[in-house]
Chain A
Amino acid sequence: MKKLEDYSKFFVGFAIAVFLILWIRLAYIQLYASALKERAEQYIVEKKVVKPPRGLIYDRYDSILVANEPAYDIMVVPARLEIKDTKFVASLLGLSVQEFKERLQRAKRYSRIVASPILSAVHPSHFHTMQTYLSMIPGFTFRRGFIRKYYNGHLAHVVGYMTEVSKEDLEKDSFYMPGDFIGRTGLEHFYELELRGQKGIRYVLVDAFGRERGAYANGKYDIPPVPGKSLYTTIDPNLQSFASSLMEGKRGAIVAIEPATGEILAFVSSPDFSLDSFWHNNRSSYYVKLLNQPDKPLFNRGVSATYPPGSTIKPLQTLFAFKMNVINHYTSWFCPGAWVRGSLTVKCHGSHFLTTPKEAIQHSCNSFYCEVFYRALSRYAEGHRKALMQWKEYLNEFGFGKKTGVDIRGEKPGLVPDTSYYDRMYGTWWKPTTIISLAIGQGEWLATPIQLATYVSVIANGGWFVKPHFVRKIDTFMLEWDSVKIDIPEKDLQHVRDGMKKVIEEGTARIAKIPDIEWAGKTGTAQNPHGEDHSLFVGFAPLDSPRIAVAVMVENGGFGSRWAAPIASFIVEYYLKGSIDSSRLWLLERVKQPIKYEQ
Chain B
Amino acid sequence: MVVSRQKMDWWVLIIYLIISVWSILTLYFIDVSSGGASGVWQRQVMWLAISLVVGFVILMIDSQLILSFSWLFYTIAILLMLVAIVQGQVVRNIHAWVVIGGFRFQPVELAKVATALITARWVARRKPSVITAVKGSLWAVLPALLALAQKDWGSAMTFAAVPLALTYVGFPWLLVIAGIALYLVLLAVIAGYIKYLLILYGVTLLVLILIFRKQKEYIKYVFGGVVLVTLITLSMEWAFTKVLKPYQQQRLKVLVGQEKDPRGAAYNVIQAENAIAYGGLTGTGLGQGFFTSFKFVPEQTTDFIFCAVAEETGFIGGTILMVLYIALILRMIIYVSKHRSPLVKIYAHAIASFFLMHILINLGMVLGLLPVIGIPLPLFSYGGSQMLSFSLMVFIYLNFSRERYTLLR
Q: List CB contacts (< 8 Å) of A1-55 with chain B.
A: 1-2, 4-8, 10-12, 14-16, 18-19, 21-23, 25-27, 29-31, 33, 36-37, 39-41, 44-45, 47
- Given A14-B164, A79-B294, do A27 and B337 touch, yes or no (CB 8 Å)? no
Choose from A5, A14, A27, A40 the contact partner of B274 (Cβ within 8 Å).
A40
Contact call B277/A36, Cβ cutoff below 8 A: yes
Chain B residue contacts of A27, Cβ below 8 A:
315
- Given A36-B273, A203-B267, A221-B261, do A11 and B168 touch, yes or no (CB 8 Å)? yes
Contact call B319/A4, Cβ cutoff below 8 A: no
CA of A47 to CA of B349, assembled, Å: 44
**Pairs across A and B, CB under 8 Å, 30 listed:** A2-B170, A4-B128, A4-B168, A4-B169, A4-B342, A4-B345, A6-B345, A7-B333, A8-B167, A8-B333, A10-B176, A11-B333, A11-B352, A14-B176, A18-B360, A19-B326, A21-B369, A22-B363, A25-B369, A26-B276, A27-B315, A29-B276, A29-B277, A30-B279, A30-B281, A36-B274, A40-B275, A113-B295, A216-B270, A221-B261
Chain A residue contacts of B315, Cβ below 8 A:
26-27, 30-31
Contact call A15/B295, Cβ cutoff below 8 A: no
Chain A residue contacts of B249, Cβ below 8 A:
none
Chain B residue contacts of A221, Cβ below 8 A:
260-261, 266-267
A289 touches B (CB below 8 Å): no
- Given A22-B364, A30-B318, A31-B315, do A11 and B274 touch, yes or no (CB 8 Å)? no
Choose from A40, A112, A113 the contact partner of B278 (Cβ within 8 Å).
A40
Q: List CB contacts (< 8 Å) of B246-280 with chain A.
A: 260-262, 264, 266-267, 270-271, 273-280
CA of A596 to CA of B278, assembled, Å: 74
User: Which chain B residues have a beta carbon within 8 Å of chain A's beta carbons?
Assistant: 35, 127-129, 164-165, 167-170, 173, 176, 260-262, 264, 266-267, 270-271, 273-281, 291, 294-296, 310, 314-315, 318-319, 322, 325-326, 329-330, 333-334, 337-338, 342, 345, 349, 352-353, 356, 359-360, 363-364, 367-369
A590 touches B (CB below 8 Å): no
Contact call A15/B294, Cβ cutoff below 8 A: no
Chain A residue contacts of B266, Cβ below 8 A:
221
- Having A14-B164, A23-B322, one finds 7 other A-B pairs with CB under 8 Å, namely A8-B333, A10-B167, A26-B310, A26-B318, A30-B280, A36-B274, A45-B271
Contact call B260/A1, Cβ cutoff below 8 A: no
Choose from A10, A22, A47, A222 the contact partner of B264 (Cβ within 8 Å).
A47
Residue of B at shortest CB range from A77?
Answer: B294
CA of A223 to CA of B259, assembled, Å: 12
Chain B residue contacts of A22, Cβ below 8 A:
322, 359-360, 363-364, 367, 369
Choose from B262, B274, B334 the contact partner of A45 (Cβ within 8 Å).
B274
Q: How far is the CB of A365 from chain B (nearest CB, A)?
A: 69
Chain A residue contacts of B319, Cβ below 8 A:
23, 26
Q: How far is the CB of B105 from chain A (nearest CB, A)?
A: 27
CA of A7 to CA of B337, assembled, Å: 6
Contact call A8/B273, Cβ cutoff below 8 A: no
CA of A216 to CA of B267, assembled, Å: 10
Contact call A47/B277, Cβ cutoff below 8 A: no
Q: Which of A1, A19, A27, A30 gathers the greatest number of chain B CB atoms within 10 Å?
A: A30
CA of A5 to CA of B271, assembled, Å: 45
CA of A40 to CA of B311, assembled, Å: 11
Contact call B367/A37, Cβ cutoff below 8 A: no
A220 touches B (CB below 8 Å): yes
Q: How far is the CB of A149 from chain B (nearest CB, A)?
A: 32
Choose from B164, B294, B334 the contact partner of A7 (Cβ within 8 Å).
B334
Interface band, chain A: 35 or more
Contact call B281/A44, Cβ cutoff below 8 A: no
Residue of B at shortest CB range from A45?
Answer: B270
Choose from A2, A11, A21, A44 the contact partner of B167 (Cβ within 8 Å).
A11
Q: How far is the CB of A200 from chain B (nearest CB, A)?
A: 11
Q: List CB contacts (< 8 Å) of A196-243 with chain B.
A: 203, 216, 220-223
Residue of A at shortest CB range from B279?
Answer: A30
Against B, the Cβ 8 Å flags (1 = close, 0 = not) of A239-260 are 0000000000000000000000
Contact call B353/A11, Cβ cutoff below 8 A: yes
CA of A79 to CA of B294, assembled, Å: 9
Residue of A at shortest CB range from B367?
Answer: A25
Choose from A11, A19, A31, A220 the contact partner of B281 (Cβ within 8 Å).
A31
Q: How far is the CB of B117 from chain A (nearest CB, A)?
A: 18
Chain A residue contacts of B326, Cβ below 8 A:
15-16, 19
Chain A residue contacts of B368, Cβ below 8 A:
25, 29
CA of A8 to CA of B275, assembled, Å: 37
Q: How far is the CB of B181 from chain A (nearest CB, A)?
A: 13
- Given A22-B367, A39-B274, do A31 and B349 touch, yes or no (CB 8 Å)? no
Q: How far is the CB of B374 from chain A (nearest CB, A)?
A: 18
Residue of A at shortest CB range from B294?
Answer: A113
CA of A6 to CA of B342, assembled, Å: 10
Q: Which of A2, A6, A7, A39 gathers the greatest number of chain B CB atoms within 10 Å?
A: A7
Q: How far is the CB of A534 from chain B (nearest CB, A)?
A: 56
Chain B residue contacts of A21, Cβ below 8 A:
369
Chain B residue contacts of A39, Cβ below 8 A:
274, 277
Chain A residue contacts of B338, Cβ below 8 A:
6
Contact call B173/A10, Cβ cutoff below 8 A: yes
Residue of A at shortest CB range from B278?
Answer: A40
Contact call A26/B322, Cβ cutoff below 8 A: yes
Chain A residue contacts of B367, Cβ below 8 A:
22, 25-26, 29
Contact call A15/B128, Cβ cutoff below 8 A: no
Q: How far is the CB of A10 from chain B (nearest CB, A)?
A: 4
Residue of A at shortest CB range from B170?
Answer: A2
Contact call B274/A44, Cβ cutoff below 8 A: yes
CA of A263 to CA of B273, assembled, Å: 59
Chain A residue contacts of B168, Cβ below 8 A:
4-5, 7-8, 11
Residue of B at shortest CB range from A216?
Answer: B270
CA of A8 to CA of B356, assembled, Å: 14
Q: How far is the CB of B214 from chain A (nearest CB, A)?
A: 30
Chain B residue contacts of A16, Cβ below 8 A:
326, 330
Contact call A19/B278, Cβ cutoff below 8 A: no
Chain B residue contacts of A40, Cβ below 8 A:
273-275, 277-278, 291
Chain A residue contacts of B261, Cβ below 8 A:
221
CA of A40 to CA of B277, assembled, Å: 7
Chain A residue contacts of B363, Cβ below 8 A:
22
- Given A29-B276, A221-B266, do A18 and B356 touch, yes or no (CB 8 Å)? yes
The 4 closest A-B pairs by CB, nearest first: A6-B337, A8-B168, A113-B294, A40-B274
Q: List CB contacts (< 8 Å) of A68-87 with chain B.
A: 79
CA of A33 to CA of B319, assembled, Å: 17
Chain A residue contacts of B170, Cβ below 8 A:
2
Q: How far is the CB of A240 from chain B (nearest CB, A)?
A: 42
CA of A480 to CA of B128, assembled, Å: 74
CA of A497 to CA of B217, assembled, Å: 107
- Given A1-B127, A45-B271, do A11 and B359 touch, yes or no (CB 8 Å)? no
Residue of A at shortest CB range from B129?
Answer: A2
CA of A495 to CA of B176, assembled, Å: 93
Q: How far is the CB of B131 from chain A (nearest CB, A)?
A: 11
Residue of B at shortest CB range from A16?
Answer: B326
Residue of B at shortest CB range from A37?
Answer: B277
Chain B residue contacts of A29, Cβ below 8 A:
273, 276-277, 367-368
Q: How far is the CB of B236 from chain A (nearest CB, A)?
A: 24
Residue of B at shortest CB range from A18?
Answer: B360
